[in-house]
A and B are shown apart, each in its own frame.
Chain A
Amino acid sequence: MTVSSQVKQTLASLKSAQANLETFALSTQNQKAKNMYTQAAQTTQSIVDELQMRVNELEQQEPQYKGY
């Protein structure tokens, strides 16, 4: 497995975790838990964005790693 595909895999897991956090935030009735989840989802989203940028960069530099 190339480094690029490893990074992409991590990115995918992170996205899934982020989506889960959002689901938890929506489904819980506890306001405190809701806030926690929302905040965590936001932080995760920002990391996802950064990582996504990195992947794009990687793909530009090394076009052979494009796609999945």
Chain B
Amino acid sequence: MPDWLETALRASLAVVYLFFLAKMIGKRQVSQLTFFEYVVGITIGSLTAQAALVGGVDTLINSMVALLVFALFSLGSAYFSMKNKVFRNIFEGKSTVLVKDGKIMERNLKKERLTIDDLMEQLRMKNAFKLADVEFALMEPNGRVSVLKKTDKQPLNASQIGLDVRRESEPQVVVMDGEIMDEGLATIGFNRHWLHGELEKQGVTLENVFFAQVDSQGKLNLDLYDDKIQMAQPSNLKLTHATLKKCQADLELFALSTKNERMKQLYGEEAQRMQELLEEITPWLNPDAAKKMKKGLDALP
């Protein structure tokens, strides 16, 4: 067997083996890397490289055994940490209080070998530029710093001002790459008929839709393939135009019917302003009516 073929075979074997080991260890490795797991991860990588390239077949087998041991160790540490607090402290470490009651814990800083500059940098990254704003800061076992700001420096939320807010649950994607996602639709309690109806209401065909999302109020939000297409505004525009026109007419009517001179003048002025507003806004609300209006004006002698 030529050398290169052997390398190729060994490499493929190592990759597949590594894949299964990675699956076994799980995603914990990536999400919360403790120092120990970090080192284990690196070692596993280098062992795999060795299994693929270095030495003869016995090295291959030995590397694979070593790999397995490392993976099992990682798994075991995770398992025991889950079961027991003492193991957890050993394997994952403890958090360190860096700021308490707004005061820096110098001794703990020293213990973590953090300079005051490092601490301030971490605080700034958490948007606490002044030490005076910080009530409590903690270095987590993974090295990140969590910050609790003083109550009066925390961002305002709805419950603090007694504001009643609508509860919103997660939105659902109903169209992706132009294909209907039945699962999302079903989760939010709609079906394809509803979707087609909504699309029709907005004057869009399914083929044009790249992405669509429904929020918890049942409002459909679309993104079209062609970004130049302006989505048709609902006929509310015309309705509003009609309402405005009616109000203008009403005001004129009031001006005519009242006997009070002051009232007459006030209503008249308002009717006049409404008229100006209508002339300005009609092309936007109801282009057809605007054209007619213009024609009517032109037809006047």
Q: Which residues of A contact B (CB under 8 A)?
A: 3, 6-7, 9-10, 13-14, 16-17, 20-21, 23-24, 27-30, 33, 36-37, 39-40, 43-44, 47, 50-51, 54
Bound: A36/B284 CA distance, A: 8
A36 in contact with B280 given A6-B254, A10-B250 (CB within 8 Å): yes
The A interface is mostly helix, strand or loop, or mixed, namely helix
Verify if B236 is at the interface (C-beta below 8 Å from A). yes
Q: Are A30 and B230 in contact (CB under 8 A)?
A: yes
Instruction: Name the contact of A40 in the complex, choosing from B236, B239, B266, B280 (C-beta under 8 A).
Output: B280
Residues of A within 8 A of B257 (CB): 3
Extra contacts besides A9-B250, A24-B240 (5): CB < 8 Å: A14-B243, A16-B243, A20-B239, A47-B274, A54-B266
For the complex, give the distance between the alpha carbons of A29 and B231 in Å.
10
- Across the interface, A21 reaches (CB within 8 A) one of B230, B240, B246, namely B240
In the complex formed, the residue of B with least CB distance to A47 is B270
Q: Which 4 residue pairs are nearest across A and B when measured between Cβ atoms?
A: A20-B240, A17-B243, A10-B250, A40-B281
> Residue on B with the closest CB to A19?
B240
Q: Are B270 and A13 in contact (CB under 8 A)?
A: no
A13–B280 contact, CB under 8 A?
A: no
Query: A24 touching B233 by the CB < 8 A rule?
Result: yes
Residues from chain B with a CB closer than 8 A to the CB of A17 are 240, 243-244, 247
Chain B residues contacting A36 (CB-CB under 8 Å) are 280-281, 284
Query: Whole-angstrom distance between the alpha carbons of A61 and B232 in the complex?
Result: 47
- B residues 234-258 near A (Cβ < 8 Å) are 236-237, 239-240, 243-244, 246-247, 250-251, 254, 257-258
Closest residue on chain B to residue A57 by CB atoms: B263
| B-chain residues with CB within 8 Å of residue A10 when the two chains form the complex | 247, 250-251, 254
- The binding surface of chain B is classed by DSSP as helix
CB of B192 within 8 A of chain A? Answer: no
20 chain-A/chain-B pairs, Cβ below 8 angstroms: A3-B254, A3-B258, A7-B254, A10-B250, A13-B243, A13-B247, A23-B236, A24-B233, A24-B240, A28-B233, A30-B230, A33-B284, A36-B280, A36-B281, A40-B284, A43-B273, A43-B277, A47-B273, A47-B274, A51-B270
Q: Tell me, in angstroms, the Cα distance from A17 to B241 when the chains sit together.
A: 8
Report the bound CA distance from A60 to B70 in whole Å: 87
Q: In the assembly, what is the distance between CA of A3 and CA of B9, in Å?
A: 95
Given the complex, which residues of B lie within 8 Å of A13, measured CB to CB? Answer: 243, 246-247, 250
Q: Most chain-B CB neighbours within 10 Å: which of A3, A10, A36? A: A10
